[in-house]
Amino acid sequence: MPKYPDISVQLVGTDGNAFALIGKVKKALQSSGVPADDVSTFVDAAFASQSYDALLGFLMSTVDVL
């Protein structure tokens, strides 16, 4: 179950660039009222992902990915 299961983000059909994916989830977190410190922590952790697969796994552990 993701950390924020009530926040759904459509990633299918989105530019597969890691920066675009992180930006889309970041925007969803911000627009859902997640505190700025938590959003910043998310971004730092996302950029620390060691691979594209690890990043996708992290995104799925953060929000409901569609």
Break the chain into its structural domains and give their ranges: 4-65
Model confidence, pTM = 0.94
Cβ–Cβ under 8 Å, residues 66 and 12:
yes
Each residue's pLDDT tens digit in the chain (66 positions)? 999 999 999 998 888 899 999 999 999 999 999 999 999 999 999 999 999 999 999 999 999 999
Q: What angle do CA 55, 56, 57 make, to 5 degrees?
A: 90
The confidence score (pLDDT) of residue 15 equals 86
